[in-house]
Amino acid sequence: MSSAASSLSSSTTGTNYFTGMSTFSSSLNSEISQEVQIAALPYQLLEDDVANMTSQSNELETLDGDVAAVQTAVSGLSSAAGSMLSASVSNGSVATATVGSGAIAGSYTLAVTNLGSYSDALSNADLPTVTDPASQNISSSGSYTLTVGTTTTSLSYSGGNLNGLAQAINDAGAGVQATVVDVGSNSAPSYVLSLQSGQLGPVLMQLYDGSQDLLTASGDPGVLAQYSVNGQSIQSDSDTVTLAPGLTVQLTGTDSGASTTVTVAADPSGIGNALQSIVTAYNAAMTELGNNRGQATGALGGQSIVYQLTDALQGLANYSTGDGAVNSLATLGVTFNDTTGQLSFDQSAFDSATSGQTGALTQFLGSGAGGGFLEAATNTLTGLVDPTTGVLTNEIGTVGASIASTNTQIAGEQAQVSQLQTNLTQQMAAADAMIYQLQQQATQMQGIFTAEQDAEIESASV
């Protein structure tokens, strides 16, 4: 209160609310200042409250972001747990492998004998010569029929230039790639339409403009990719093939008859990286909470929300199932420091705990909706930062509503003080004018009295 009063005093001292003519005008202005100071004190205190609540709101927003970062890290752990399998290829020049949903651990023998090739076609040599593909075309038709294999697609294009026709073919999504190439020379350019099949192997491609076919096959016919898996020969119209459920391989080279091994095995390294991310996010959140606990002077000092968040996060750090080879975060190398309240991650302890314990690791982690640490962590963090029902969300909303309500109250108080100031100014100005008139009358009477005294003195001396 003394702070608000001091602020008021410094802001109103010496203020002239009206320009007076009497000798008491300064005193009357001071009286207005004092009354305004006293009347304004309540809303000045309310403004202090708004400043404090604004600081609290800002700190809550910071904590919301920190806890949300922990939630994101837990989601990363969930993703890593769901894709613990990884694939490796013994000869990386032959293929690359990707593991997806449904994959299982196993080993596959892959031999690639031919990467295959695509079919190509060019526009006929007897069509009109195109020296400027932005303004000329190989046909004046406004409609075309595109044939790819056994599928036909109708095209409507009347733009009159070869570039636009190529774009119309690509936009049709018919399984070919159209380009414009120059088969002439620098001095005599000659642009033609070029089509390449989207699949490996021999693919018929033709473009009909209503009166004639416009394309001729060029180069060698396309061939299918040829490879074998565990001795079984296979042909494919794509260089991306599926070896097994959830196991996709990109063929990148041939191996001259030598076999390549594709291995799918459990790889917990992603789990370790995710745990390190959780530790980093957790420590940042706990550091921020520490700024509002004990002797700290944070905006939320003494607020129950600080201890609620602290307990929730520490509960996750100390999560334990009590059984199994992997039964706590501590067994995975994530340890809690009782003195600092921070977590640390020991990679070597993690590697030792998870070696040969993929099943136990999977059981301990569980999933976001299927038990284990991940379900507990997901539920806890959702309860804190859910956009609708989260504890932090509700607290931020409550403080925001209080700020809005207090600002409305301040506006009302300020209006009353302004009206009081207006009324006092009018009253004091009127009083000053009356005092001035009385002072003028007193001065005139004093002048008459003095003149009479002077006259009497002069008469007596004669």
Contact present, 409 and 46 (Cβ < 8 Å): yes
Work out the percent of the chain whose per-residue pLDDT is above 70. 96
Residue with tokens 């774009």: 167
For residues 310 and 365, membership in a common domain is answered with yes
Is the per-residue pLDDT at 15 higher than 50?
Answer: yes
In whole angstroms, what is the distance from residue 194 CA to residue 181 CA?
7
Residue with tokens 């002239």: 16
Confidence grade of residue 359 (pLDDT, cut at 50, 70, 90): confident
Burial 210-236 (b: 16+ CB within 10 A, else e): eeeebbebeeeebbbbbbebeeeeeeb
Please give the tally of structural domains in the chain.
Answer: 3
For residues 279 and 248, membership in a common domain is answered with no
For residues 48 and 60, membership in a common domain is answered with yes
For residues 95 and 241, membership in a common domain is answered with yes
For residues 317 and 208, membership in a common domain is answered with no
> What element of type H or E holds 343?
strand 343-345
In whole angstroms, what is the distance from residue 333 CA to residue 353 CA?
8
In whole angstroms, what is the distance from residue 329 CA to residue 313 CA?
13
Q: What is the DSSP string of 273-291?
A: HHHHHHHHHHHHHHHHHHT
Give the residue from 178, 198, 218 where a domain finishes: 218
Q: What is the pLDDT of residue 298?
A: 87
State both tokens at 78.
């969930």
For residues 318 and 448, membership in a common domain is answered with yes
Burial 405-418 (b: 16+ CB within 10 A, else e): ebeeebeebeeebe
Q: What is the pLDDT of residue 78?
A: 93
Is the per-residue pLDDT at 93 higher than 70?
Answer: yes
Contact present, 298 and 292 (Cβ < 8 Å): yes
For residues 316 and 368, membership in a common domain is answered with yes
What is the domain-level CATH number for residue 133? 2.60.40
Confidence grade of residue 13 (pLDDT, cut at 50, 70, 90): low
Q: What is the overall mean pLDDT for the chain? A: 91
Contact present, 392 and 385 (Cβ < 8 Å): yes
Is the per-residue pLDDT at 365 higher than 90?
Answer: yes
In whole angstroms, what is the distance from residue 352 CA to residue 326 CA?
11
For residues 58 and 15, membership in a common domain is answered with yes
Domain of 349 in residue numbering reads as 1-84+268-462
Q: What is the pLDDT of residue 296?
A: 65
For residues 274 and 312, membership in a common domain is answered with yes
Give the residue from 218, 236, 253 where a domain finishes: 218
For residues 300 and 345, membership in a common domain is answered with yes
For residues 298 and 279, membership in a common domain is answered with yes
Is the per-residue pLDDT at 6 higher than 50?
Answer: no
Query: What are 241-286's pLDDT values in tens digits?
Result: 999 999 999 999 998 767 899 999 888 889 999 999 999 999 999 9
Query: For the purposes of burial, counting CB atoms within 10 Å of the CB of 381, is it exposed (0-12), middle (13-18) or buried (19 or more)?
Result: buried
Q: What is the pLDDT of residue 42?
A: 87
- Return the closest-CA partner of residue 111 out of 271, 234, 283, 272: 234
Helices (H), 245-390: 269-290, 304-317, 347-354, 358-365, 372-385
State the pTM of this model: 0.63
Query: What are 177-213's pLDDT values in tens digits?
Result: 999 999 999 999 999 999 999 999 999 999 999 999 9
For residues 105 and 237, membership in a common domain is answered with yes
